[in-house]
Amino acid sequence: MELLRIDCLGKELRLEGSLAGWQQLFWDNQLVSVKEASADNQGLRNHEFELSRQDPNNQTVHKIPLTLEVDLIWQPFSLNYRLLSEDTVLSEGSRDAKDIERQTPVVPVKAQQKLSLVGLASLGFKLLKSAKVIKVVLAGASVAAYSWLFSFQFALALIACLMFHEYGHIRAMKYFGMKTKGIYLIPFMGGLALSDEKINTRWQDVVISIMGPTFGLLMSIASLVAYWLTDNPLFAGLAAFNALLNLFNLLPILPLDGGHILKSISFSMNSLMGLIACAAGAAIGVFISYSLGLALLGFLLLIGSLEIIFEWKTRHQSHLLPLDRYGQIFSAIWYLLTVGALVTIIWYLAGSGDDMLGLPLKILQS
């Protein structure tokens, strides 16, 4: 991940690093210093290097010795630096997690590729995806699909819930200053909120991922209140099925929202105890699901948790800044409360005796 980008002798000096302990220093996109990976992945590092500078008067080339002092702490993230030329301080400062969130990573220039059928197909897909007409086509297909399963009125209401869910993702992206492409509805699959920019931290990944189900939970609560006020079964059905859709989105299976959330939490735990705690939490979730008779939910939780544990070894290779301890705890509580609230809504409406309102619970018990 990019840790630092400053000016050095009129050109860009960029420091990249990872949790594995390695650091690479680039000046004008040329590698000038390397620190290899090690178990001691933080603390003070000195990058000593020389730059060549030509005197414009007599064309003499001067070698300029430089030192970049970097004092790095990963959790909570802080970086203090000093750029020195012998004993003269050229630049100094500090960075925190907020600075990492706001930065725009350097995008390497890709080599121009020859045209091919695969390349043309990829280009055509990108053009199609960026066209506004595809949003209308997908929205129409989604309405038709849900109308076939339910009724036209219920399909429109369900589409509104999906849009509200995806709007939660969009709001989170805009909160972090990211440019968005909009919302795409996919029949029988829900929706997709797209952005032109990549995230830099696991906190961004958590917030963007969980805001969709959080907005979905608010929509289910609003529908439930409308049902209590009007006694209209349409609102009750909307609350139940919207809760089911958002609950499935929170399963710890990539690329679902829950997969991103739990992966960010577990991959931010650098010790073996962190992995054990994550596995224990997943086991408790599976046990509770089976105890309540939610067989399908328990099975999917088990599969998703195993998937995340298997990928745990690669956490040091990520370009994302990890969550600190407070972020891990806060994210886990936010996730568990959202899941619990959605299950409660489904359970409550299933107790009404209506077969249609009991269908989401039967799906979870299957």
Q: Does position 132 have pLDDT exceeding 70, yes or no?
A: no
CB neighbour list of residue 8: distance below 8 Å, 6 or more residues apart: 27, 51, 66, 83, 90, 91
Q: Does position 57 have pLDDT exceeding 60, yes or no?
A: yes
Q: Which of 7-21, 113-127, 141-155 has the highest mean pLDDT?
A: 7-21
More reliable by pLDDT, 250 or 108: 250
Average pLDDT, the chain: 78
Whether the CB-CB separation of 7 and 27 falls below 8 Å is answered with no
Tens-place pLDDT, residues 308-345: 666 666 666 667 888 888 898 999 999 999 999 999 99
Tens-place pLDDT, residues 158-174: 778 788 888 899 999 88
363 CB neighbour count, 10 Å cutoff: 16
pTM above 0.85, yes or no: no
Write the DSSP symbol of residue 87.
T
Whether the CB-CB separation of 249 and 214 falls below 8 Å is answered with no
Distance of CA 176 to the CA centre of its chain: 12
Q: Does position 3 have pLDDT exceeding 60, yes or no?
A: yes
SS3 at position 2: strand
Token pair in block for residue 216: 């979905």
List C-alpha distances in Å: 312 to 4, 179, 274.
26, 30, 10
Tens-place pLDDT, residues 257-292: 888 888 888 778 765 666 676 667 667 777 777 776
The structure tokens 């630049």 sit at 91
**Mean per-residue pLDDT for 228-239?**
90
More reliable by pLDDT, 140 or 249: 249
Query: 2-100 belongs to which CATH class?
Result: mainly beta
pLDDT value at residue 109:
43
Instruction: Give which of 278, 270, 343 is closest to 309, Cα–Cα.
Output: 278
User: Residues spanned by CATH 2.40.128 within the chain?
Assistant: 2-100
pLDDT value at residue 99:
85
Q: Does position 225 have pLDDT exceeding 50, yes or no?
A: yes
